[in-house]
Amino acid sequence: VHERNEAKETETQKACFKFLDLTSRSFSAVIKELHPELLLPVCVFYLTLRGLDTIEDDTSIPFATKEPLLRGFKDFLEIDGWTFDGNRPEEKDRELLVQFHNVITEFKNMKPAYQVIVKDITDRMGNGMADYCKKAELGDDSVNTVEEYDLYCWYVAGLVGEGLTRLFVEAEFGNPALLERPQLHKSMGLFLQKTNIIRDVREDHDDNRHFWPKEIWSKHVGNFEDLFKPENREAALNCGSEMILNALEHVEDCIFYLAGLREQSIFNFCAIPQTMAIATLELCFRNPDMFERNIKITKGDACQMMLESTQNLRVVCEVFRRYARRIHKKNTPKDPNFLKISLVCGRIEKFI
């Protein structure tokens, strides 16, 4: 375990850690425990992408303003003192961008090799986000096929997996062979992002944003809104199951990825969000509440997961197996994907 030396922190470093706490519940704890070599780089990486996402998420910013902000965000990292106060007042992480100069200062203090990685991922993510905003702008459903769904998740999360892996390997905390198997870090990101999109379906819908691909929901309902009508509960649950089935396909890659990590704090940082994600999928699986309101795993379950995810790969596999078994038990022959769900759970249960 690594302790931060808060007495030695500069004002801009303190500000970055303050924004880390303000903008993230789940990531702030694990980032702050990272090995000192990667503590600030990962914190700056997180805050940079959080800033970018705060522009993407703000539906009050017109496309003509938003597009250049997203596409050019990587360049702001080089402009001393750059800040942005164009978010709507109720935007949750508005203040991070209002005081973004702190992130820029710490970005410039990083080793050049780390700067290159953060800047490259920010560039590609910002352009990917802008492409999807444009599709939505053109009136098109922005996510039609499963392929488009995977591509969106690649832009907003798979790329984070790539960037983190490059940082781990650069710092010699990860097996360089990880970089030769991009499928593995892609799955690490997509598993988290898909879980987030599944769980937040109600909140995102209330915000007029849809990420569930039409190719999946159209098998269950005629219009996306129908998922939220009480008379369609059974269809909505079957649709949710199919989305969860799609996410569970990434689990085996995630286990292989975790096996390539060589440093305990990096292992914890990567493993905790993954075990939280499978617990979240189990909570969502055939749970009608998901279409009514925001649901979250309990604090108790989250604490248990923290303990179990900070040991070793064996214990983490045990957690995955436990939740796969619970999903398996809730699976029902009424579900059109009964067999496929049974198969994917069985595979996870037998794994290791």
Residues involved in catalysis:
152, 199, 209, 269
Phi-psi region of 139 (alpha: psi -120 to 50; beta: other; left: phi over 0): left
Shortest separation between residue 328's beta carbon and Mn ion, angstroms: 26
The yes or no reply on residue 28 touching Mn ion (CB under 5 A) is no
Q: Considering beta carbons, is residue 9 or 57 the nearer one to Mn ion?
A: 57
Site for Mn ion in 37-66 (CB under 5 A): 53, 56-57
Closest to 199 measured CA to CA, from 292, 113, 100, 281: 281
Q: Considering beta carbons, is residue 168 or 191 the nearer one to Mn ion?
A: 191
The number of residues that bind Mn ion (CB under 5 A) is 5
The yes or no reply on residue 131 touching Mn ion (CB under 5 A) is no
Q: Which residue has the tokens 């250049």?
A: 68
- Which residues are paired to 174 by β-bridges? 261
Q: Considering beta carbons, is residue 305 or 335 the nearer one to ligand PS7?
A: 305
Q: Which of 9, 95, 131, 200 binds ligand PS7 (CB under 6 A)?
A: 200
Shortest separation between residue 204's beta carbon and ligand PS7, angstroms: 8
CB 315 within 8 A of CB 308: yes
Q: What are the residue ranges of helices labelled H in 138-262?
A: 146-153, 159-170, 182-199, 201-206, 214-217, 233-248, 251-258
The number of residues that bind ligand PS7 (CB under 6 A) is 22
Closest to 195 measured CA to CA, from 286, 293, 277: 277
Length of the chain: 352
Closest to 338 measured CA to CA, from 228, 207, 251, 244: 244
CB 216 within 8 A of CB 243: yes
Among ligand PS7, Mn ion, none, what does residue 49 contact (CB within 5–8 Å per kind)?
ligand PS7
Q: Tell me how far apart the terminal alpha carbons of the chain are, to the nearest angstrom.
A: 27
Shortest separation between residue 232's beta carbon and Mn ion, angstroms: 23
> Using the 8-state DSSP alphabet, how is residue 210 labeled?
-
Shortest separation between residue 53's beta carbon and Mn ion, angstroms: 4
Measured distance CA(127)–CA(156) in Å, rounded: 10
The yes or no reply on residue 45 touching ligand PS7 (CB under 6 A) is yes
Q: Considering beta carbons, is residue 15 or 254 the nearer one to ligand PS7?
A: 254
Among Mn ion, ligand PS7, none, what does residue 192 contact (CB within 5–8 Å per kind)?
ligand PS7
Using the contact rule CB under 5 A, the part of the chain among 188-196, 231-239, 255-263, 328-336 near Mn ion is 188-196
Q: Which two tokens stand for residue 165?
A: 């892996």
Q: Which two tokens stand for residue 60?
A: 């009050």
Q: Which of 66, 166, 185, 220 binds ligand PS7 (CB under 6 A)?
A: 185
Dmax (CA) of the chain: 60
Torsion of CA 21, 202, 63, 19, to 10 degrees: 0
Annotate each residue in 106-135 with x if it binds ligand PS7 (CB under 6 A) or - if it does not, as one string: ------------------------------
Phi-psi region of 296 (alpha: psi -120 to 50; beta: other; left: phi over 0): beta
Annotate each residue in 159-178 with x if it binds ligand PS7 (CB under 6 A) or - if it does not, as one string: -xx--xx-------------
Q: Considering beta carbons, is residue 211 or 323 the nearer one to ligand PS7?
A: 211
Using the contact rule CB under 6 A, the part of the chain among 39-47, 141-149, 302-310, 329-337 near ligand PS7 is 39-47
Shortest separation between residue 132's beta carbon and Mn ion, angstroms: 10
Among Mn ion, ligand PS7, none, what does residue 157 contact (CB within 5–8 Å per kind)?
ligand PS7
Give contact residues for ligand PS7 (rule: CB under 6 A): 27, 42, 45-46, 49-50, 53, 156-157, 160-161, 164-165, 185, 188-189, 192-193, 196, 200, 270, 273
